Amino acid sequence: MTNNWIKKTAIATAVCVTLVSGQAALGTSNIGQAHAASATTASAKADSIIAAAKALQGKVIYKYGVNNPSKLIFDCSSFTKYVFGKYGVSLKWGTASQKYAGKYVSKSNLQKGDLIFFNNGKTSAVSHVGIYIGNGQFIHNTISSSFNGVRINNLSDYTKRYSTARRVL
């Protein structure tokens, strides 16, 4: 009986070692694939977020200090909060909070879906946020004397106001 128990224990141990080493090998061989899948997922999510933001052009009204999704009235940060939130990315309301979300990204490494922040041109304090959409452009909810709502602009037109960027995807 003792020999039988020893044989069963030895077989069980060998099976466990084989399974564990097989899983370890499988896990290490897929690290690159997991990273690629994660990047693909982030890219697909960015495309969806950008599409949702573009779909709101002509429908959203800008009003400073307002976060009213039911009436589609937003300031710049409640707009980004709303659009990212539709795809499971939780952002706090306010540029003061959003400028610390995710990870810092340099201007030269911007990717679609990155949050980009601007000052008002008079001080260095962050006062506006938009979403980088690629090809040197961004989409944001804004207001001027001749426009109110969601619009796409060239980042190069905002060079003097650009402050920082954050990757939240």
Which pair of structure tokens corresponds to residue 42?
């982030």
Determine whether 111 is exposed, middle or buried from the number of CB atoms within 10 Å of its CB (0-12, 13-18, 19+).
Answer: middle
The CA-based diameter of the chain, rounded to the nearest angstrom, is: 92
Q: Model confidence over 62-86: pLDDT tens digits?
A: 999 999 999 999 999 999 999 999 9
Beta strand 162-167 with 148-154 is unpaired
Q: What are the residues whose beta carbons fall under 8 Å from the beta carbon of 101, sequence distance 6 or more?
A: 91, 92, 115, 166, 168
Share the mean pLDDT of the chain: 85
Give the domain ranges of the chain: 29-167
Specify the CATH number for 29-167; select among 3.90.1720.10, 3.40.50.300, 3.40.50.1820, 3.40.50.720.
3.90.1720.10
Q: What is the pLDDT of residue 22?
A: 43
pLDDT at residue 12, rounded to an integer: 43
Cβ atoms of 79 and 112 closer than 8 Å = no
> Cα(39)–Cα(35) distance, rounded to whole angstroms?
6
Give tens-digit pLDDT for 4-50. Answer: 544 444 444 444 433 334 444 444 444 445 555 666 798 999 999 99
CA distances from 59 to 55, 78, 155 (A): 8, 15, 23
Helix (H, G, I), strand (E, B) or coil at 147: coil
Question: What is the DSSP code string of 14-30?
Answer: HHHHHHHHHHHHHHHHT
